[in-house]
Amino acid sequence: MPHFHHTILAAAMLAAGAAQAATPTPAADAGPNTSARQADINAIVGEISPKRIEAYVNKLVSFGTRHTLSDTVSETRGIGAARRWIKGELERCGAGKLDVVFDGHLHPVDRRIARPVEIVNVVATLPGTQAESRERMYVVSGHYDSRRSDDADATGDSPGANDDASGTAAVMEMACVMSKHKFDATLVFMTVAAEEQGLYGSTDFAEKAKQKKLNIAGMFTNDIIGSSVSDDGKRDNSQVRLFAEGIPAVKELPDATRTLIQTGGENDSTPRQLARLVKEVGERYVPNFKVTIVNRRDRYLRGGDHAPFLDRGFAALRFTEPAEDFNHQHQDVRKEGNLQIGDLPQFVDPAYIAQVARVNAAALASLALAPASPADVKIITAKLTNQTDLTWAANTEPDLVGYRVVWRDTTAPLWQHSKFVGKVTAVTMPLSKDNVFFGVQAVDRDGNVSPATYPMPGR
């Protein structure tokens, strides 16, 4: 009996033998259990606290304004006080584990920067513990700056509770909780400034990462993740949107992108592969909460801190609440009749932020425990066949147990089938490469799985 259709086979066995066995016998080569919830990741998800997140949001709002050009001398008001508080909290909660630094640069005057200003990110790094994986890193961010209706107004109140104290609080909570645990790869928890002036904080980090050739295998930004109530008053706390870019809109296509398009792989960019993994892991660890992948870079007319990473070739994604209320972002606090306008803490829902943080944390933990995505994956096209020959380079992690080939119909958004193939670097699949999309994932002994790598045609 062929065992390359695990999902279908298991269903058929269940239907046929429902009376005798509750669980189907796994095939001999099933490999480690890749769908079980792991105790350590469960613990992290359980430790994420809506109460602490609420306290972080309220404290951030208490600085009055966090405008990028606001006061930096006061201990109680302005962006300087805010970032010193963020740094202090991370140093306190992650003592001995997190390496917390101010990462700043002097930004010159431009259209939205009225005077030269120091733009400072607060970067907390949790170094990986496996030599083979330590250089691989995952970055999660929120922006701690805020704005008013007039984005040049650096003195008036701008609470920014949802945009983006929500994302900042989620990142702080993840940093504090996850620093108590160990991961093979490195995690970077970052809160950035000057998102509202032109993504300058994240651009500076992404550009330096590119210059230093850092191996950032994934990046998530959390921006406006604070409310489950949309502008029509409907509450939907059962999902979060995850924006994932396909083909970048550049004038000159890099060769790799051209090959992706030539083989129909426009839905298999690295951000889309990462998004599939985040959805799978996030929904496993956070029950009754859906990760709704949106196959585009961002919302219309909007941008975010993932963009500078995407523009430099890193796989980056954006988390945002399901339906925004535009009365509660980028607006001066005021009343219009009975309508309260402004980004106030009363309009954020800490329990909802915690759910989004749990999805982030589960995905980050799983990614940082898993091996790297296989490199140099090829689909061999030397001759015409109705099978598929796949090859790849061997991973180096000591806890690697093998590889998993995944595939789906060409019209399907998510992986539909998988086969664990063991510790090999070549496999022939009895399916036509013309009719499905394949991916290859690396698997460790605990069942942690890397994002899939799309095979490029090779000979």
**Positions that interact with Zn ion (CB under 5 A):** 163-164, 223
Residue 442 pairs in a beta bridge with: 403
Residue 318 backbone class (left: φ over 0; alpha: ψ -120 to 50; beta: rest): beta
- How near is the Cβ of 285 to Zn ion at its closest, in Å? 26
Cβ-based nearer residue to Zn ion, 163 or 349? 163
Cβ-based nearer residue to Zn ion, 143 or 408? 143
- How near is the Cβ of 185 to Zn ion at its closest, in Å? 27
Cβ-based nearer residue to Zn ion, 324 or 444? 324
- How near is the Cβ of 303 to Zn ion at its closest, in Å? 9
**What residues have CB less than 8 Å from 405, skipping those under 6 apart?**
390, 418, 419, 421, 427, 429, 438, 439, 440, 441
- How near is the Cβ of 314 to Zn ion at its closest, in Å? 19
Cβ-based nearer residue to Zn ion, 163 or 184? 163
d(CA 315, CA 450): 13
- How near is the Cβ of 341 to Zn ion at its closest, in Å? 17
Cβ-based nearer residue to Zn ion, 163 or 389? 163
3-state secondary structure of 15: helix
**Are 328 and 227 spatial neighbours (Cβ–Cβ below 8 Å)?**
yes
- How near is the Cβ of 441 to Zn ion at its closest, in Å? 33
d(CA 221, CA 141): 5
H helix intervals, 322-459? 350-369
- How near is the Cβ of 60 to Zn ion at its closest, in Å? 13
Cβ-based nearer residue to Zn ion, 67 or 181? 67
CB atoms within 10 A of CB 388: 22
- How near is the Cβ of 343 to Zn ion at its closest, in Å? 10
Residue 341 pairs in a beta bridge with: 334
What tokens were used for 52? 């602490």
Cβ-based nearer residue to Zn ion, 204 or 446? 204
**Are 372 and 136 spatial neighbours (Cβ–Cβ below 8 Å)?**
yes
Cβ-based nearer residue to Zn ion, 142 or 374? 142
CB atoms within 10 A of CB 261: 12
What's the burial of 131, exposed, middle or buried (CB within 10 Å: 0-12/13-18/19+)? exposed
